[in-house]
């Protein structure tokens, strides 16, 4: 039985160049699959992401802009696992933010807020599936 | 060279009983060292914490209550490493929240905000030092 994991921590940012430069100065290395609107950094079995705040707000369904917004994500092995986690969270007292749905880029993802409003994403992305140990490692390309 | 790590993710919570019950329902197991005002969950080489929001605000020095507040922490091997990370972050463009200082419970800790305001803690706690691989494992007692 693997320990529970948070696979991706996403920080909402205003200016990608500024924020990417800051994290690179702190020792994080921008992964090759990064794009203009999103930066990925590989950590040990986990990924730290920088994502434009407006886009993050759009994804989570949180209508008010939240400066310094942050989301935590669990990556799964399939759509059924996303649906199951989503149902479990609602049953446990989470609030619906966005029901699981297909994303334009190919993922299947949903968001809930925990009892204090922290947004959690449950997601299936074929190129970003954890290994047997539960670790998430970024591919060289998407 | 180990990959960079986030050792502790702390979520600010209003009602510890409600939030702890939620995370337990989601499969996280409350660690024995948890206390009334703080809950620790062991993940793979990382710790997820629930901490009363008022106390978290006090620690970070963020004066306005931030519902859904969250901090990311890097645990180090000594006070000098905390000071060095702190200086590096300020040099890289972070904002000072609280300079490193001794905590009443024995730790040495400081907080900065990244360019978008996300609070990061650099900390040394003798009982919570990462191992050679960089992983942080909770002790059975503090």
CB contact under 8 A, B4 and A21: no
Q: Over the stretch A49-64, which tens digit does the pLDDT of each residue have?
A: 998 888 887 777 775 5
- Of residues A69 and B80, which shows the higher confidence score? B80
For every residue of chain B, DSSP letters joined together read: -PPP---EEEEEES-HHHHHHHHHHTT--B-TT-BTTEEEEE-SS-EEEEEEHHHHHHHHT--S--TT-EEEEEE-SSHHHHHHHHHHHHHHT-EEEEEEEE-TTS-EEEEEE-TT--EEEEEE-TTS---TTS-----S--
- pLDDT for position A102: 96
Best A115, A131, A132 member to test B by mutation, with max B CBs in 10 Å, is A115
All residues at 6 or more sequence positions from A142 whose CB lies less than 8 Å from its CB, including other chains: A33, A127
pLDDT at A22 over 80: yes
- pLDDT for position B26: 87
- Of residues B123 and A113, which shows the higher confidence score? B123
Distance from CA of B142 to the nearest CA of A (A): 21
CB contact under 8 A, A68 and B117: yes
pLDDT at A34 over 80: yes
Q: Which residues on A lie below 8 Å from B4 (Cβ)?
A: 26-28, 41, 43, 48
ipTM reported for the complex, 2 dp: 0.84
pLDDT at A129 over 50: yes
The neighbouring-strand residues paired with B35 are B38
Q: Which residue from A minimizes the CA distance to B53?
A: A116
Q: What is the mean pLDDT of residues A22-51?
A: 92
- pLDDT for position B91: 92
Q: Over the stretch A88-109, which tens digit does the pLDDT of each residue have?
A: 999 998 889 899 999 888 899 9
CB contact under 8 A, B5 and A93: no
- pLDDT for position A117: 81
Residues in chain B with pLDDT values less than 50:
64-67
pLDDT at A76 over 70: yes
User: How many other C-beta atoms lie within 10 A of the C-beta of residue A105?
Assistant: 7
Residue among A22, A89, A116 minimizing CB distance to B26: A89
C-alpha pair distances (Å), A77 with each of A33, A82, A108, A136, B124 = 20, 8, 11, 11, 36
CA distance B8 to A27: 18
pLDDT band at A1 (very low <50, low <70, confident <90, very high): low
CA distance B79 to B125: 9
pLDDT at A13 over 90: no
- pLDDT for position B1: 61
Strand B38-42 and strand A119-124: the pairing is unpaired
């Amino acid at each position: 039985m693997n320990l529970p994991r948070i696979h991706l921590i996403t920080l909402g940012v205003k200016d990608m160049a500024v924020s990417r430069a800051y994290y690179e100065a702190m020792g994080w290395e921008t992964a090759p699959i990064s794009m203009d609107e999103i930066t990925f950094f590989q950590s040990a079995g986990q990924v730290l992401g920088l994502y434009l705040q407006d886009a993050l707000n759009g994804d989570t369904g949180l209508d008010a802009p939240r400066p310094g917004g942050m989301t935590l994500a669990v990556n799964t092995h399939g759509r059924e696992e996303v649906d199951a986690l989503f149902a479990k969270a609602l049953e446990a007292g989470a609030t619906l933010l966005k029901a699981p749905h297909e994303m334009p880029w190919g993922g299947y993802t949903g968001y809930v807020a925990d009892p204090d409003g922290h947004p959690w994403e449950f997601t299936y992305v074929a190129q970003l599936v954890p290994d047997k140990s539960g670790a998430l490692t970024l591919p060289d390309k998407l």
